[in-house]
Amino acid sequence: MFRYKMPQWMSNKLSAEKQEDIIRCYDAFNASDKNYT
């Protein structure tokens, strides 16, 4: 499964909690995307 990796410059600007929110969003997007493939 594709796992979104935060670019380093982005990681430095965002808190770990915010990164987890973004990763969760990408995971949800990827999961729904699989329904169409």
Percent of the chain with pLDDT over 90: 0
- The structural domain count of the chain equals 1
Whole-prediction pTM:
0.39
Stretch 1-11: mean pLDDT: 60
pLDDT at 1: 43
CB contact at 8 A, 15 and 23: no
- Under the banding of pLDDT at 50, 70 and 90, the label for residue 19 is confident
pLDDT at 6: 59
Q: Read off the tokens for 10.
A: 């982005």
What is the extent of the structural domain holding 31?
1-36
> Cα(25)–Cα(27) distance, rounded to whole angstroms?
5
